[in-house]
Amino acid sequence: MGKRGPKSKFTDVACPNEACKDHGVAGHGNIMGNGTYQARNTTIRRYICHTCGKAFCDSINTFYYNLRKDESIIDLALNISMKGMSNEGTAEVLKIRPATLKRWLAFGAKQCDNVNATLMKNLHVQRIEMDEMWVIVKKNSSENGSL
Amino acid sequence: MEVYEDDGSWMWISFASNSRLIIAFTIGPRKQYVANELVKLTDDCLSKDKPIYVTDGLDFYKVALLNQYGLQIEYPRTGKRGRPKKPKIVPPDDLKYAQVVKKRKGGKLQKVEKKVIFGEDIEQSAISTSLIERQNFLPLTRQSTLKQFLADT
C-alpha cells in the first residue's frame, strides 16, 4: 500500500497495441498507471502495458486524441460548421486557424467512419429504399483537387 | 448505355425506411459502377436476411442487385450443332426488388407505376420511395452545408 492508500489496478483498461498479446483484454493486471499530464484543461492519465511495454493515454483511439484545444471549443466548432457557417467564419469567431478546423473536420469524418464500421453490422432491415440526389460538389472539387 | 443530361456529382443513398436510418451512401456520377458500389456497401451492413429493395425507375439498380446477389447458371453442352448457350445470371428466390416508376409530361406527374422486378408476395403498400425522397429533400435545402462538408472531408 502506498502513502495515499492502495494503488488503483485499472482493471477496466485494455492495451490498445494490436501487436500486444493482451490487446483488447481488460483485467489481466498488465496495465499500470504511468503518471498524468494536462491537456485540453483536464488531467489525462497515462498507462503502461507491462506485456508489450507500450505507454498510452486515456484518450487514445478517440476523436480528441492528440488535440490541444478545449473539448468544448472543438465541439462548438464542429457544430457551427455542420450548421453551414463557412470555415473561415467559424475559425474567426472561435479564434482558431481555418486549417485547424479543416483538420478537426477530417478527424471527425474519419472517426464517424470508424464508428459506422463498428456499429453498422448485421442489421435486420425489412425494407430498403435507394435513391440518388444531385449535389453540387463538382465545382468545389475541381478547385481544390479533392474528391 | 443511357446518357443523362445532368451527368455530374450525385449522392447515392440507401435508407432503411422503418428506422429512418441511412445505411450507406456514395458519391459519383450516374453510372453503373456507382450503383454497384452502393449495393455492395449496403449489403456489407446487412444480416443474411435480404430485405425488400425499392428504388426509382433507374435500371442501374437492377443490374447492381443481380451483380451482388445473382446466381450464375451454366447450361450443359447438348452435343447438338450450334453455339452453346451462354451462362446466365438469375436472381435468387429470396431477392425481392420493386420499382416506382414516375411518368411525367412537361414536368407534371402523370402516372405512378409500381413494378415488381424480382420476387413475389410484395405488398403494393411496401412499394414506395416517398420516405427517402423526403429524406433527400432536407440536404437539398442545405446545399451550401453539404457542399462545404464534402469539399472539406
- pLDDT tens-digit profile of A8-50? 678 889 999 999 998 988 888 889 888 998 887 788 899 999 9
What is chain B's pLDDT, residue by residue, as a tens digit (153 residues)? 555 556 678 889 999 988 989 999 998 888 999 999 999 999 999 998 889 999 998 999 999 999 999 999 998 888 889 888 899 999 999 999 999 999 988 889 899 999 999 998 888 888 999 888 888 887 666 666 666 666 655
Residues A2 and A56 in one domain: yes
Residues A70 and A53 in one domain: no
Domain boundary among A12, A28, A61: A61
Residue B146 lies in a domain: no
Q: Is A147 a residue whose pLDDT tops 50?
A: no
Return the CA Rg of chain B: 18
Rounded CA separation A12/A9 (Å): 9
Interface touch B151/A102, C-beta < 8 Å:
no
Interface touch A127/B146, C-beta < 8 Å:
no
The domain of A7 spans 1-61
Rounded CA separation A24/A38 (Å): 26
What count of Cα atoms within 13 Å lies in the side-chain half-sphere of residue A58? 14
Count CB neighbours of A90 within 10 A: 20
Q: The domain spanning residue A92 has which CATH number?
A: 1.10.10
State the amino acid at position A30 in one-letter form. N
Residue A68 lies in a domain: yes
d(CA A147, nearest CA chain B) in Å: 7
- Cβ(A122)–Cβ(B49) under 8 Å? no
- pTM reported for the whole predicted model: 0.75
Residues A76 and A99 in one domain: yes
Residues A70 and A51 in one domain: no
Q: Which pairs from B2-7 meet CB under 8 Å and 24+ separation?
A: B2/B59, B4/B30, B6/A134, B6/B30
Count CB neighbours of A13 within 10 A: 19
Q: Residue B47: helix, strand or coil by DSSP?
A: coil
d(CA A74, nearest CA chain B) in Å: 16
Residues A29 and A85 in one domain: no
The domain of B58 spans 10-141
Write the pLDDT tens digit of every residue in A50-105: 999 999 998 888 888 888 888 899 999 999 988 888 889 999 999 999 999 999 99
- Cβ(B139)–Cβ(B147) under 8 Å? no
Rounded CA separation B142/B153 (Å): 17
What are the cell numbers at B78?
447438348
Write the pLDDT tens digit of every residue in A116-133: 888 988 999 999 999 988
Structural domain total, chain A: 2
Burial of B27 (0-12, 13-18, 19+ CB in 10 A): middle
Residue A23 lies in a domain: yes
Interface of B with A in 67-86 (CB under 8 A): none
Residue A132 lies in a domain: no
Q: What kind and span of H or E run contains A136? A: none
